[in-house]
Chains A and B, each alone.
Chain A
Amino acid sequence: MGNRARIAKIVKRVAAEPVDPAPGDSLFESGLLDSFSLADLVTELEKEFAIKVPDSDLVPRKFDSIDRIETYVTSRA
């Protein structure tokens, strides 16, 4: 499974919604993520990709779409 698919799976699990957002769609504007599920998403990404998200990267914009998340986790790998 590629990174994008792994990320989409996490987003669906955290959002508790059986939807497949388009890679460029805003996860906040679509209502899939809110302030609290964003924190859960970051935690799940850390586990899934074995990365550590430093406090300086805790910027919602970095996690606003599957595309952006993929860019981020790739940069941390």
Chain B
Amino acid sequence: MAFLRGFGSYLPARIVDNAELAPMVGADPAWLLHATGIEQRRFAADSETVSSLGTAAARDCLNRCAAAASEVGLLIVASGSGERRFPGPATSVARGLGIPGVPAIDLPMASAGALFGLSLAGPLTHQYGNVLVVASEIMSRVVQLEPAGRDTAILFGDGAGACLVSAAGGFAEIRDSVLASDGEFAEALRLHLDAPLYMDGRTIILHASRKIPRAILQLLERNRMPPGDVGTYILHQANLNLITRVAQAVGVPESRFVQNLVRYGNTSSASMLIAAAEWRGNSQEKLAQPVVFAAFGAGLNWGAVLAVPVGNGGR
């Protein structure tokens, strides 16, 4: 068995509201809010990097778990906006945490990266002990902050999240997960090193609005768990309308879906763990009801993870 021990996050200090962003992209602030539901997002400072954000989120996670960095046996870092082709940010985050020698793996998957990391971390705890999953993105540097890039640029923000997964115990048990990939639509959402982020929104929304509910329902069905028994759904924070549609398709009240898009925008892979860190706060309580994590992103990659209240195996 593998357990969730806790979450952490880091949001850059600079808040960019719609009044500041609107002139950059040649739009009206009221239209920005209406079109996206986003009131503000964070932009990283010039001195910050994907790995520095990730390191800060990792430290926050370890602090909340009362764990030392030296307890980490494996580091997984998800990011689609790393500054280099290679090495990815994982080894830099490990260096920032002061854990030389600990294997550090990159998942350059963008939005679904944290979910895949969380799912893969479970079985890997049996070989490596504590697995720290980090997701970090500086999306403000990969979008076109000018009128030509308006439709994409207005959606994104910067941030990082983290989760510590352990075989020894935690507040919830990772019970099961569903992961899937389909390269047929890889061109619909892509980021080359020498061009801004490209997104065919119609194709992405069409696939996401069908694949996310399907993954959640498949996961719950094979665990014989009605969707109504899940207390909290934590999704990649891509779009408010999408979360509403997923709630309707799954058949549970939208109030069970954690939402923070209005304050941070879409932070790609980081968003799910940032939302989880806000949901969990500094609570030391055991989980009372199951929680489902779900994400969809470039690749296409998507899936869902189910965590349940701990039984006798948890601490």
Contact = CB atoms under 8 A, between A and B. Distances in A.
Interface of A: 28, 35-36, 38-39, 42, 55-56, 58-60
Top 3 A-B pairs, shortest CB-CB distance: A35-B205, A39-B209, A60-B202
B210 A55 contact: yes
B210 A39 contact: yes
A1 B65 CA distance: 63
B241 interface: yes
A35 to B, nearest CB: 4
Interface of B: 182, 184-185, 200-207, 209-211, 241-242, 245
A8 B202 CA distance: 20
26 contacts: A28-B202, A35-B201, A35-B202, A35-B204, A36-B209, A36-B241, A36-B242, A36-B245, A38-B202, A38-B205, A38-B206, A39-B205, A39-B245, A42-B206, A42-B210, A55-B182, A55-B184, A55-B210, A55-B211, A58-B203, A58-B207, A59-B203, A60-B200, A60-B202, A60-B203, A60-B206
Contacts of B185: 58
B205 A56 contact: no
B184 A56 contact: yes
Given A39-B245, A58-B206, 5 more contacts: A35-B206, A36-B209, A38-B202, A55-B207, A60-B203
B261 to A, nearest CB: 15
A11 B206 CA distance: 16
A28 B185 CA distance: 20
A17 B99 CA distance: 60
A13 to B, nearest CB: 16
Given A55-B182, A56-B184, A36 B207 contact: no
Contacts of B242: 36
Contacts of B200: 60
Nearest to A41: B206
Nearest to B300: A55
Contacts of A55: 182, 184, 207, 210-211
Nearest to A38: B206
A62 to B, nearest CB: 10
